[in-house]
A and B are shown apart, each in its own frame.
Chain A
């Protein structure tokens, strides 16, 4: 297994593999198919790939039309446009009638590093999570991306999936089994919990190694499904450790941190500290790691937040 895999490639390949198994899958693209890697699907199934031009709102409406005539429709764009530009179309035309449409949010988080704030997506998980009937997925590596795509296509209903524009460190091997809605304990631990989603799962694992050097035993959770949230695993972590540090490549408002805090506070379950983009917009950088560091999305910052949480207890 390669130690790094391009998530977009894995996404595109997974769509192709699904397309071979299931003739009822169509893919819609808004002039970004060479970035989302829906292009791979076009190469093999040109008759089932529909280019709509730079028109995300119409793309979502068309995806609804395909779903209403018996197709499983996958509509891809950059996460910021797929979830934002077409939010209202997703709300009325997809989520409300509970249609079998999958929305691929590519270049999620800060992973469109160079393009800057306009193209970075730090609100997509919050807004997609707010829609009734919507399932929200955020896979952590290439292996999980492939399996999450398979799982979303097996589900009859609306799904939003966020994909990063990076070579993500490979966390899983091929015999990993993705279970929609079920948190994966990446590392057991009793002192503190690091709950991460997507590209931040790797960062949380690094943070756990740093904490281990400090003598702190951190549990690491991969919350690949933000909705429906695996409340049992969150509450167990809240109960069994001193508190939860959430880590996400997203605004600290509305995403994973909020989702975890909602569950924990309802159960009076102890502290939740949110690591994420602190309610500011992104910016350009020529280096992804530099950009992550500028917003505190580093193992060192996660370690420091976990340590201060433990000190307050």
Chain B
């Protein structure tokens, strides 16, 4: 069982991230609200507890690596990177502006703390597999964390990477599926069914852990368990709610990429206060 004080601290950080996501979109922009909110708790635990990082030195060679394969949810990562000081605070209000660090999808050449180029779906896990192998070959004990969307599992490349990770027994690789059940067009079950997810990943040779992706204690426990697994990559299937924390956006596919009215923006911030 995770320490309750730590859980509370991380819950506050998750709120900070959610407020950042909402602030980035504000009442004047459009952005990927739903899928950013659904990963906020996982991002909080990784950035504020689990990962070995040096915010003052973003390319420190012994850092752990974070890859957002579902790159459109970058707002959650930007919010953490801004709070931790990787990205200057003023970038919070420049989402998708020409020349901004907060690009529509993460770009490692434009933004400190971003580890790769992701956003075209299905590619991040492969990059994570290469990183995990590259780190192991270099004798580094850094670990690689990848977040994949459940809609993204439609992409064949994900399963190529799944095979490779197990084939190479990558126990320094931990992936999350943000299992929120919605993709751009509507319910994932209607676009392309991906169930039974745990069985699929287990059949591909992964150590599978199922959690509530909004329960900080469960996220902490899962990551602790992941650290003990040997000769297998770890898949944490995190059941989440798209739009989590902002009532009007919860479980509404339309908030995959959306704008907010001034009233909605105020309401969202109030709900996250």
| Residues in A neighbouring B128, C-beta threshold 8 A | 65
A281 in contact (CB, < 8 A): no
A47 in contact (CB, < 8 A): yes
Q: Which A residues, 83 to 106, have Cβ-Cβ distances below 8 Å to chain B?
A: 88-89, 91-93, 96-98
Question: Closest chain B residue to A57 by CB distance?
Answer: B157
| Residues in A neighbouring B129, C-beta threshold 8 A | 58, 61-62, 65
Contact size range, B: 35 or more
Decide if A64 touches B157 in the complex (CB within 8 Å): no
Decide if B160 touches A55 in the complex (CB within 8 Å): yes
Decide if B126 touches A98 in the complex (CB within 8 Å): no
Q: Fill in one digit per residue for A278-303: 1 if any B CB lies within 8 Å of its CB, else 0.
A: 00000000000000000000000000
| Residues in B neighbouring A69, C-beta threshold 8 A | 130-131, 134-135, 138, 140
Assuming the contacts A61-B125, A71-B137, asked whether A66 and B130 have C-beta atoms less than 8 A apart, the reply is yes
Residue in B119, B123, B130, B137 whose beta carbon sits within 8 Å of that of A68 in the complex? B130
| Residues in B neighbouring A98, C-beta threshold 8 A | 109
Assuming the contacts A58-B126, A65-B129, asked whether A97 and B108 have C-beta atoms less than 8 A apart, the reply is yes
Q: Which of B115, B118, B127, B131 has the most CB of A within 10 A?
A: B127
Question: Closest chain B residue to A55 by CB distance?
Answer: B160
Decide if B126 touches A97 in the complex (CB within 8 Å): no
B117 in contact (CB, < 8 A): yes
Residue in A62, A71, A92, A97 whose beta carbon sits within 8 Å of that of B164 in the complex? A62
Q: Fill in one digit per residue for A48-88: 1 if any B CB lies within 8 Å of its CB, else 0.
A: 10101101011011111111111101000000000000001
| Residues in B neighbouring A61, C-beta threshold 8 A | 123-127, 129-130, 157, 161
| Residues in A neighbouring B164, C-beta threshold 8 A | 52-53, 55, 58, 62
Residue in A50, A52, A68, A88 whose beta carbon sits within 8 Å of that of B131 in the complex? A68
| Residues in A neighbouring B130, C-beta threshold 8 A | 61-69, 73
Q: Which B residues, 111 to 147, have Cβ-Cβ distances below 8 Å to chain A?
A: 115-120, 122-135, 137-138, 140
Residue contacts A-B, CB under 8 angstroms, 6 given = A26-B137, A57-B156, A61-B125, A68-B130, A68-B134, A98-B109
Report, nearest first, the 3 A-B pairs whose CB atoms are least far apart. A65-B130, A61-B126, A69-B134
Interface residues of B (CB under 8 A from A): 61, 65, 107-109, 115-120, 122-135, 137-138, 140, 156-157, 160-161, 163-164, 167-168
